[in-house]
Amino acid sequence: MKLQRCLVAAAVLSAATFARADLTGGTVEARLDASAGGWQQPTATVGPGVEFTGSLASGMVQAALDLSAAGLTFSLINRSTGNELNPDGIVDLGLRGFQLDNLLSTTGPVTELTLLSSTFPAGTFDRLTVTPGRVVWTAPELIMPGRGTLWQATWRIAH
């Protein structure tokens, strides 16, 4: 009877740990590799709201990386107003990619990302690799269409 109670208690504790397995409260390091711009801060604690914000193309494109309990969302929005030579505000991002480190959940390092949705051009994330606790993305050349364009990609994390 004692053994049964111990097994039940262990199963309940294990299930409770699994239910809490997320990134919340962890400190993540991020690097945005771009010719003109980057994140405003190199580290952030995962919690409510967007953890990393910054700009590309000398401020014409706003970038955001939002980490949640079970996923992450990377967004770019073209804020260019255009000019006489480029009235549509088309922007060469000069983006080379990003790197995230210390992606640790309550059950261990993140080991997999599953792309759930993306409005980026097809193939944009073909060169994204995940090793325990680290994500590295090497970007293809990206030319962002006119002002107001929003590109967003969301992934689910696995441990």
How many domains, the chain?
A: 1
What CA–CA distance (Å, rounded) separates 59 from 149? 15
For residue 136, the surrounding DSSP H or E stretch is strand 134-138
Comparing C-alpha atoms, which of 100, 98, 99, 104 is closest to residue 25?
Answer: 104
Structural domain contains residue 68: yes
Report CA 65 to chain centroid distance, whole Å: 5
Q: What is the CATH number of the domain that holds 152?
A: 2.60.220
Structural domain contains residue 139: yes
75 and 151 Cβ atoms separated by less than 8 Å: yes
Average pLDDT per 10 consecutive residues for the chain, totaling 159 residues: 41 36 89 90 94 92 94 95 89 93 90 96 96 96 93 93
Q: What is the pTM of this model?
A: 0.84
Q: What is the CA radius of gyration of the chain?
A: 19
What's residue 8's pLDDT?
37
User: Residue 60: which domain range?
Assistant: 22-158
Q: What's phi and psi for 69, nearest 5 deg?
A: -55, -40
The token duo for 153 is 């990609």
